[in-house]
Amino acid sequence: MTVKLAVLKSGEDVVADIKELVDEEGNIVSLIFNNPVAVKLFTKNTVVDSEKSNEFSVSFSNWIPLSEEESIPVNQDWIVTIVEPVEAVKKSYEERMNGRRTATADGRTDSDVNSSNEQSDTNKSD
């Protein structure tokens, strides 16, 4: 599984198992997003013992909730960048795909990833 985080021109962040679809000449025709989920980041500034810190949580939801397809072709023109997600997001996504997480009726799993700068060095503190 090649789990990546794609940032789209629409401003959406999508985590998926991303593969390239190539033609006979080896040119990339499009990218295939397998099991894509939209990712929303929520941040909260806190003060503990007069030290400021940022905490964040991530919520997953079905990227195209009205589709039953699990593999969705995406035109390269719509992709701003593709990056490696932070380990906590990647692990949570993989657990979700392995059926360890259950979604609510609207396809969301709230607070799948919670972190603070005390727990993870992926957060930025003020």
DSSP 101: S
pTM for the full predicted model: 0.72
Choose between 5 and 97: higher pLDDT: 5
Q: pLDDT digit string (tens) for 65-79?
A: 999 999 999 999 999
Taking a C-beta distance cutoff of 8 angstroms, is the pair 73, 30 a contact?
yes
Structural domains of the chain in order of their starting residue, each with its CATH number = 3-40+61-111 (2.30.30.100)
The token pair that represents 105 in the structure block? 């009726």
Q: What is the pLDDT of residue 65?
A: 94
